[in-house]
Amino acid sequence: MASKTRVDTGEFGAGGKVDVPLLQALEEVRAIARSGLAPLTAAADAGRVNRPLLEAMGEAGLLGRLFPSLGSEDSPSDVSATELCLLREAIASVDTHAETALALQGLGGYPILQAGTDEIRKRWMPAIAAGKAVAAFALSEPGAGSDAAAIEARAVRDGEGWRLYGEKSWISNAPEADVYSIFVKTAPEAGSRGVSAFALPGDRPGVSGEHIDLLAPHPIGRLVLDGVHVGPEDLLGEENKGFRVAMRTLNLFRPSVGAFAVGMARSALDAAVMHGESRVAFGAALAEQQSVSHLLAEMATRLEAARLLVYAAASAYDQRDEQEKQARLSAMAKYFATETAQFVIDGALQIHGARGLVNGGLLEHLYREVRATRIYEGATEVQRTIVARSLRKGVRPADGARD
């Protein structure tokens, strides 16, 4: 997808330049989602892992776009945050379940790609990219959601390896995943500096779990670790440095959560504009009513601002801007885009009136889907705290200053 031909675009970029072939490829992605993925999601249980869907995305090369260095003998190159955002936005505008399946596969596979040994990568990554092995990211716990450093699941030394004990909750693709990128405490007294990451096969003795039913059905569940053995060959990165693996993954994926939200909101806005033009009320098109037209204008403006912020954050990641800037823009993009999507989808539903409430309709579906984006991978309140702390860093009142 690389190219020397580049264009400025407000439709997808934020002061950034996007390859012309890339934009063409995104139209192809939408076509694949409409014809090849949507029928598979419609025929499956949305609350369980959809293996035929994952394999179809693997065959179409969509999962391979998440892991660009596969097939290379060199150490893995990083994923392009911009391409990840474009891919998620494009699929989300067509099929949210397919988008979520792709994102969860990437979230679970990326720690293995970035921190696994050659042996671990060769064992898991080709199958993950082909959609034949289901990956999961297992960080959250009942008492450790946005405060990821508060995890209590632990690894106890057992010879050269460890035994894992504890519980993980709200885990993507659990309990059906073939491999979990799992994070546990190997040095509990050290806080976040005592976390280690492992590639844990889902069929390892001592692993059990159950599904969790959500407002919007997704393959999410709970894991119980009862003396599960892992060895040094399962370790991702260095012992006690797994928190870096988790944060690097989240820093990549947080802006793309915003892209997912933007894709959903784009679909809702398009539906609202079409309905406003076709629905006649009080002798004129609904969109001619000032209250409706102004709401549409507000929805469109906020959506475009959200999109620009998402791609500014992605660009900062890809250009290796200093970490403080990356974290600040990522937090801004994640919270602003998801809050904006909630506003846009709610506005679209309001414009549709009772039609928008029909069970199984587009807006009813999007209304349920969008709510969780404001919580997972760091709730809105946590993202605001990150932004505020970034602003305060290095700022000190002048000597003797008073409020």
CATH label of the domain that carries residue 52: 1.10.540.10
Map residue 197 onto helix, strand or coil. strand
403 is a domain residue: no
Map residue 193 onto helix, strand or coil. helix
Distance of CA 233 to the CA centre of its chain: 28
Give the pLDDT confidence score for residue 284 in this predicted structure: 85
Question: Residue 211: is it exposed, middle or buried by C-beta count within 10 angstroms (0-12/13-18/19+)?
Answer: middle
Domain termination site, one of 213, 240, 267: 240
Give the pLDDT confidence score for residue 46 in this predicted structure: 79
Are 89 and 164 found together in one domain? Answer: no
**Sign of dihedral through CA atoms 143, 145, 149, 154?**
positive
Are 371 and 284 found together in one domain? Answer: yes
Are 251 and 193 found together in one domain? Answer: no
Are 287 and 350 found together in one domain? Answer: yes
Give the pLDDT confidence score for residue 21 in this predicted structure: 64
Are 250 and 333 found together in one domain? Answer: yes
Euclidean distance between CA atoms 330 and 82, whole angstroms = 12
Are 169 and 270 found together in one domain? Answer: no
| Catalytic annotation present for 277 | no
Q: How many domains does the chain have?
A: 3
Euclidean distance between CA atoms 59 and 92, whole angstroms = 19
Map residue 4 onto helix, strand or coil. coil
290 is a domain residue: yes
Are 349 and 288 found together in one domain? Answer: yes
- In the chain, which stretches have pLDDT less than 50? 1-17, 71-76, 399-400, 402-403
Euclidean distance between CA atoms 92 and 205, whole angstroms = 37
Give the pLDDT confidence score for residue 8 in this predicted structure: 34
Are 130 and 142 found together in one domain? Answer: no
H or E, element range at 161: strand 161-172
* Cβ atoms of residues 359 and 284 within 8 Å: no
314 is a domain residue: yes
Helix, strand, coil tally for the chain in percent (to 5): 55, 15, 30
Amino acid at 355: R
Give the pLDDT confidence score for residue 65 in this predicted structure: 87
Residue with tokens 């702390």: 389
180 is a domain residue: yes
Are 256 and 387 found together in one domain? Answer: yes
Give the pLDDT confidence score for residue 77 in this predicted structure: 52
Give the pLDDT confidence score for residue 22 in this predicted structure: 61
What are the φ and ψ backbone dihedral angles of 195, each rounded to 5 degrees? Answer: -100, 135
Give the pLDDT confidence score for residue 2 in this predicted structure: 35
94 is a domain residue: yes
Are 225 and 323 found together in one domain? Answer: no
**Catalytic pick among 83, 89, 99, 377:** 377
Domain termination site, one of 90, 108, 134: 134
Distance of CA 205 to the CA centre of its chain: 29
400 is a domain residue: no
Give the pLDDT confidence score for residue 137 in this predicted structure: 97
CA geometry: angle 260, 362, 130, nearest 5 deg = 45
147 is a domain residue: yes
Helix residue ranges per DSSP H, 281-322: 290-318
Are 108 and 163 found together in one domain? Answer: no
Are 183 and 47 found together in one domain? Answer: no
CATH label of the domain that carries residue 216: 2.40.110.10
Cβ contacts of 199 within 8 Å, gap of 6 or more: 111, 112, 116, 120, 124, 179, 180, 181, 182, 234, 236
Cβ contacts of 211 within 8 Å, gap of 6 or more: 47, 48, 174, 175, 219, 220, 221, 222
Domain termination site, one of 115, 134, 153: 134
Domain span at residue 356 reads 244-392
Strand partners, 225: 166, 207
Euclidean distance between CA atoms 63 and 128, whole angstroms = 8
Q: Length of the chain in residues, anyone?
A: 403
Tell me the pLDDT tens digit for each residue of 15-40. Answer: 344 555 666 777 889 999 999 999 99
CATH label of the domain that carries residue 295: 1.20.140.10
33 is a domain residue: yes
